[in-house]
Structure 1
Amino acid sequence: MAETALIVGAGAGLSASLARLCAKEGMKIALAARNTDKLGALAAETGAQTKACDVADKDSVAALFSWLDGTMGTPDLVVFNPSKRARGPLVDLDPDEVLAATTVTCHGAFLVAQQAAKRMLAAGHGTILFTGASAGVKGYPQSAPFAMGKFGLRGLAQSMARELHPQNIHVGHFVIDGGIRTESDTREAPGENKLLDPEAIAETYLQFHRQPRSSWAWEIELRPWKEAF
């Protein structure tokens, strides 16, 4: 039976590369995003189904998984990509914008993970992957909300891994340490390799999903070979 994958926060870049790779591997795919209009071409290319979802809204997340129950069933793989930023000096930050940012990046991940875990525990298996950032291990100046959200995301993933790995639910957190290349990127010269290739990241996600249980990881850091760390 074909595996199923749910990509939350789908769009261009990493999510699109993941969807294409999963389709190539014969998986059935669901793509979730606040705005599904932008997903038409990708859905047509990968044979994916789409569903609107606001990860900041618990009812919207619950509706996403109820929809999955009636269409594709329990996903074998769930990938959480959404994040939201609020930048500026600490004393100038709008508290409401900070709350919105951390709600999407961290609490939204919890909502998705909780719904996924309930179903995967009943099924007896599954993989939940979180897209993190270097901001989740080191807080940068004038970027407190992003650090708060990504630190929280990493803590969620670590706690889940310790709780759920013994129950055959593989949990992974990916520290993406560097910029991800886009189709029309001007941040690097041809062959410079300063940016991460989204297709290469997707390959690592798939490898993580397929790790033997005797050697499960819970976290991997990915960076271009020229990135300082």
Structure 2
Amino acid sequence: MTAIALIIGAGSGLSASLARLFAKEGITVALAARQIDKLAGLAGEIGASRFTVDASKPDQVEQLFNQVEQQLGVPTIVIYNPSARISGAIVDLDPVEVLRTLEITAYGGFLVAQAAAKRLLKVGEGAIFFTGASASVKGYARSAPFAMGKFALRGLAQSLARELAPQNIHVAHFVIDGGIRSDRRPEPVDKPDSLLDPDAIAQTYLSILRQPRNAWTWEIELRPWVETF
């Protein structure tokens, strides 16, 4: 049976690298985002299906999983990539904007994980992966909302790993500790290998996915060799 990967928060960066690698490995790919027009080129390139979702809305998340299940089958690989970031002094932050960042970064992760777990427990196997950041383990100054969201997402992943691993569902959290190279963020000529290569990150996701269950990891950190930590 062909594995099905659902990538939520899909875009042109890490998600695109994951999608291309999974497709190359014979995995059926479903791409989900709030705006799917931007995914047309990628979807056409690898033969992926596109689905619209605001991951912070319970009804939309449930509808997403139902649509994927009806069109492709149960997604046994679910990757949560969305996050939102606002910065500023604590006294200046807009509470409404802060709430929205938490809904996208953390609450959406819970909704997706819950919908995935309900289906994977019936199947008896699967993987749920969460994309974290430096802020998952370090709360930087003037970045409280992002740290709050990413800390919460990490806590969710750790809790679910302990709950679901004994039921043959691999939960893992990826701390991306550094900037990711892209067309909009090219690597400085005078600082080679100072940014993470999204294709290299994707290879690590695949490696974790293929771990034998007698040697699973729930968390891994990735950073350029020159990154301080």
User: How many Å apart are 1:156 and its aligned residue?
Assistant: 0.0
1:71 is matched with 71
1:225 aligns with 2:225: yes
User: How many Å apart are 1:51 and its aligned residue?
Assistant: 0.3
1:198 is matched with 198
- What pairs up with 1:118-129 in 2 under 5 angstroms? 118-129=118-129
CA contact (8 A) 2:194 2:226 kept: yes
In 1, Cα distance between equivalents of 2:190 and 2:25: 29
CA contact (8 A) 2:187 2:193 kept: no
Q: Counterpart amino acid of 1:46?
A: I
In 1, Cα distance between equivalents of 2:60 and 2:228: 39
User: Alignment partner of 2:113: what SS?
Assistant: helix
Q: Counterpart amino acid of 1:92?
A: D
After superposing on structure 2, the runs of 4+ consecutive aligned residues of structure 1 that deviate more than 4 Å are none
User: Alignment partner of 2:91: what SS?
Assistant: helix
**Cα distance, 1:27–1:94 mapped onto 2, change above 3 Å:** same
Q: Counterpart amino acid of 1:44?
A: G
1:136 is matched with 136
Q: Unaligned regions of 5+ residues in structure 1, if any?
A: none
TM-superposition CA deviations, 1:46-78 (whole Å, max 9, x none): 100000000111111111001012011111211
Instruction: Please report the RMSD computed on the Cα atoms of aligned residues, expressed in angstroms.
Output: 1.0
Q: Counterpart amino acid of 1:144?
A: A
How many corresponding residue pairs?
Answer: 229
Task: Work out the percentage of aligned pairs sharing the same amino acid.
Answer: 61
TM-score (norm 1): 0.98
Q: Counterpart amino acid of 1:40?
A: A
- What pairs up with 1:1-229 in 2 under 5 angstroms? 1-189=1-189, 192-229=192-229
User: How many Å apart are 1:191 and its aligned residue?
Assistant: 6.7
In 1, Cα distance between equivalents of 2:103 and 2:19: 25
Q: Counterpart amino acid of 2:198?
A: P
**Cα distance, 1:169–1:158 mapped onto 2, change above 3 Å:** same
User: Alignment partner of 1:91: what SS?
Assistant: coil
